[in-house]
């Protein structure tokens, strides 16, 4: 997801009924958009304003891509490692995927320290508004008007020259991809909830002289304050409570960068271990191929489902997901709405804790329900690169044509890529050759999604129906913003009595009757007629 899309998503979040934010001098809501006086963390571990006021969207956009990087130090297993021996990580046997294990695994103090350190790369007094303005200027610049590819390279060069550690952050950003982004969100949300709880307990401590807490973090804070002159004064405590509330939101927005990246097609499990393996095996050429796979998936879109939903609805249709630069297109409408809904649910966790609720269990974090991944029981585009069951990397032999694969075809492709349209990427020269074709000769090698024939579509739909009985069709996205989406009609299914009733009321003989009747009377009469015909 690109910088402007991250910004737009964050600034679209709304806090109308958050009365608990009123009176906080470090939080402003301007034209519906929340702005924070960003809180750093001083040498004794207390939140402290750094003199920078930014919107929620700016925090989401800046974190991870431009400020951060320590989160790559998390020692997380690869997908292959987990699949080979899941019991080595989860001895309960309850986690059948790496993502579910990363949600369940308790957050450690070391992980919290690393993410807080990453957050402090943004939230410190050395970061100025001019630094952020420079990033947006480069991001929106059109240095090479006649070539978007060359313009992108110049932008990357400018970022490398103007943004500290940019190249390192870019080359070691596996935490931005599924399923590792799930872990970063889980850690960040855990930290934000702890800060939210401290805010609430400070309010209780101010309201009740005899307040006693079982929260070790809060009690440790009181010990620190007791050693500071006027540290336990009412004015000091009120201000500190407001700072913790702002810090809680700041940390939440910071981890939302990784959360929102999770919704981009180029970050789902078609990438997976390839994000690390391609550079490891093929050096700089592998890194470029990561970008090619990422960009193609974002462009052609994939079909996803909510794989971490604790109460899944099997009738729920798949969601079409796009990515960087295409996140606002019509076909990505439902994916974008799911992303906003997930962030809103996650923020509601903080809202509840601000108001005194207990901290939710990790597996119940609000944002998890909406997080998507590839729906392997629905059609998918043929990926540019894949990691076979033999752990070898393969590329699509026909670089110009992208077939749509049924679930069984996709599985067969992973099992035996060489006999399903793929060639092994065996060495660095082969990787260089592939990069040369894709990057230097894009006018020759320009991939397009192949249109299915009528027969292919019938076979594909039959397999999907067998795998997903009773599943609703993908609804059409709204053409006009705000328009209510409508589902694609399934002609094979008989109309319900209600549907027939509405049609008769609008177009049938009953609609032309001269007798004045209420709509309720019309409906009752038509339904009586239908009931008579069904007897």
Tell me the per-residue pLDDT of 329-369, one tens digit each, with 9 for 90 and over.
888 999 999 999 999 999 999 999 999 999 999 999 999 99
Please compute the mean of the pLDDT values over residues 252-268 and round it to a whole number. 95
Q: Are residues 370 and 502 in the same domain?
A: no
Instruction: Look at residue 198 and tell me if it is in a domain.
Output: yes
| pLDDT exceeds 60 at position 531 | no
Between 5-14, 386-395, 496-505, the lowest mean confidence (pLDDT) is in 496-505
Task: Measure the CA–CA gap between 97 and 180, rounded to whole angstroms.
Answer: 12
8 Å CB contact between 404 and 114: no
Q: Is the pLDDT of residue 493 over 90?
A: no
| pLDDT for res 523 | 37
- φ/ψ of 423, rounded to 5, equals -125, 140
Does a structural domain hold residue 188?
A: yes
Does one domain contain both 178 and 39?
yes
Task: Report CA Rg, the chain.
Answer: 27
Going through 299-415 in order, the beta strands assigned E by DSSP cover 302-306, 319-321, 372-374, 380-381, 385-387, 393-396, 401-402, 404-405
Q: Which two tokens stand for residue 249?
A: 């939101």
Do 507 and 359 fall within a single domain? no
Lowest mean pLDDT among 122-136, 313-327, 499-513: 499-513
| Predicted local distance difference test score (pLDDT) of residue 502 | 47
Q: Is residue 187 domain-shared with residue 48, that is, in the same domain?
A: yes
Percent of the chain with pLDDT over 70: 89
Range 51-77 average pLDDT: 87
Residue range 136-144: mean pLDDT, rounded: 94
Q: Compute the distance between CA of residue 208 and CA of residue 203 in angstroms, rounded to an integer.
A: 9
Residue 197 inside a domain? The answer is: yes
Of 374, 404, 423, the residue at which a domain comes to its end is: 374
Model confidence over 30-44: pLDDT tens digits?
Answer: 888 999 999 999 999
Residue 283 has pLDDT above 80, yes or no: yes
Strand 372-374 relative to strand 47-55, pairing: unpaired
Whole domain around residue 525: which residue ranges? Answer: 498-535
- Predicted confidence (pLDDT) at residue 95 exceeds the cutoff of 60: yes
Would you say residue 512 has pLDDT above 90? no
Write down the pLDDT at residue 480. Answer: 61
State the DSSP code for 63: B
489 assigned to some structural domain: no
Decide if pLDDT at 488 tops 90. Answer: no
Alpha helices in 121-209 (DSSP H): 129-140, 148-162, 166-171, 180-207
User: Residues 501-509: what's their mean pLDDT?
Assistant: 47
Same domain? 155 vs 302: yes
Higher pLDDT, 338 or 484: 338
Q: Does some domain include residue 379? A: no
Residue 250 lies in a domain: yes
Token couple for 25: 């001098």
pLDDT at residue 443 greater than cutoff 90: no
Question: Residues 159-216: pLDDT tens digits?
Answer: 999 988 888 787 777 888 999 999 999 999 999 999 999 999 999 999 998 999 999 9
Q: Average pLDDT in the 510-520 region?
A: 41
Q: What is the pTM of this model?
A: 0.87
Q: What is the mean pLDDT of the chain?
A: 88
Distance CA 452, CA 461 (A): 11
What ranges make up the beta strands (E) of 20-77?
A: 27-30, 33-41, 47-55
Whole-Å CA distances, 425 to 52, 255, 293, 385: 48, 35, 14, 9
Q: Is residue 288 part of a domain?
A: yes
Would strands 422-424 and 33-41 be described as parallel, antiparallel, or unpaired? unpaired
Is pLDDT above 80 for 251? yes
- Give residue-wise pLDDT tens across range 214-241: 999 999 999 999 999 999 999 999 999 9
Q: What is the pLDDT of residue 355?
A: 97
d(CA 120, CA 67): 9
Domain count, the chain: 2
* Pair (113, 254) in one structural domain: yes
> Looking at the predicted structure, is the pLDDT value of residue 514 above 80?
no
Is residue 424 in a domain? Answer: no
Look up residue 471 and give its DSSP letter: P
Residues 6+ apart with CB under 8 A from 248: 192, 193, 195, 196, 199, 350, 354
Closest Cα to residue 272, out of 301, 299, 297? 297
Final residue before a domain boundary, out of 332, 354, 374: 374
Burial class for 514, CB neighbours closer than 10 Å (0-12, 13-18, 19+): exposed
| 457-467 average pLDDT score | 95
Q: How far is CA 280 from CA 73, 217, 285, 293, in A?
A: 17, 41, 10, 16
| Between residues 510 and 9, the one the model is more confident about | 9
Determine contact, residues 429/283, Cβ cutoff 8 Å.
no
Residue 266 has pLDDT above 80, yes or no: yes
Which of 374, 389, 414 is the last residue in one of the domains? 374
């Amino acid at each position: 997801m690109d910088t402007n899309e991250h910004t737009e998503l964050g600034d679209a979040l709304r806090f109308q009924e958050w009365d608990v934010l009123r009176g906080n001098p470090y939080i402003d809501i301007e034209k519906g958009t929340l702005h924070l006086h960003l809180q750093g963390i001083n040498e004794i571990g207390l939140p402290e304003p750094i003199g920078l006021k930014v919107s929620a969207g700016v925090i989401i956009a800046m974190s991870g891509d431009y400020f951060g990087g320590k989160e790559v130090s998390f020692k997380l297993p690869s997908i292959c490692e987990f699949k080979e021996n899941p019991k080595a990580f989860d001895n309960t046997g309850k986690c059948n995927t790496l993502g579910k294990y990363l949600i369940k695994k308790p957050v450690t103090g070391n992980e919290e320290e690393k993410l807080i350190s990453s957050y402090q790369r943004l939230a410190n007094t050395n970061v100025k508004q001019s630094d952020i303005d420079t990033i947006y200027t480069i991001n929106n610049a059109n240095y090479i008007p006649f070539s978007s590819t060359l313009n992108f390279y110049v932008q990357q060069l400018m970022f490398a020259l103007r943004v500290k550690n940019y190249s390192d952050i870019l080359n070691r950003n596996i935490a931005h991809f599924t399923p590792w982004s799930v872990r970063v969100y889980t850690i960040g949300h855990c930290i934000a909830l702890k800060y939210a709880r401290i805010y609430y307990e400070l309010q209780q401590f101010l309201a009740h002289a005899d307040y006693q807490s079982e929260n070790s973090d809060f009690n440790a804070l009181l010990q620190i304050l007791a050693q500071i002159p006027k540290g336990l004064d009412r004015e000091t405590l009120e201000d500190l409570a407001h700072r913790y509330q702002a810090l809680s939101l700041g940390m939440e927005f910071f981890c939302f960068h990784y959360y929102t990246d999770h919704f981009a097609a180029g970050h789902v499990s078609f990438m997976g271990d390839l994000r690390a393996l391609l550079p490891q095996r093929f050096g700089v050429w592998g890194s470029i191929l990561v970008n090619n796979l990422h960009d193609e998936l974002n462009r052609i879109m994939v079909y996803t489902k909510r794989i971490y939903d604790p109460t899944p609805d099997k009738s729920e249709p798949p969601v079409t997901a796009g990515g960087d630069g295409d996140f606002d297109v019509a076909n990505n409408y439902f994916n974008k709405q799911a992303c906003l809904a997930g962030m809103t649910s996650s923020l509601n966790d903080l809202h509840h804790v601000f108001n005194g609720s207990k901290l939710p269990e990790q597996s119940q974090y609000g944002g998890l329900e909406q997080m998507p991944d590839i729906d392997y029981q629905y059609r998918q585009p043929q990926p540019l690169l894949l990691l076979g069951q033999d752990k070898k990397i393969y590329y699509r032999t026909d670089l110009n044509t992208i077939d749509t694969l049924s679930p069984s075809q996709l599985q067969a492709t992973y099992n035996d890529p060489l006999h399903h349209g793929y060639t092994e990427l065996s060495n660095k020269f082969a990787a260089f050759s592939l990069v040369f074709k894709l990057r230097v000769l894009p006018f020759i090698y320009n991939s397009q999604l192949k249109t299915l024939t009528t027969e292919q579509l019938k076979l594909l739909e039959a397999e999907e129906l067998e795998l997903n009985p009773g599943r609703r069709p993908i609804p059409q996205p709204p053409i006009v913003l705000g328009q209510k989406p409508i589902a694609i009609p399934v002609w094979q299914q008989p109309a319900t009595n209600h549907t027939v009733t509405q049609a008769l009321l609008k177009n049938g003989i009953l609609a032309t009757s001269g007798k004045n009747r209420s709509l309720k009377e019309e409906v009752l009469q038509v339904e009586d007629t239908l009931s008579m015909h069904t007897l």
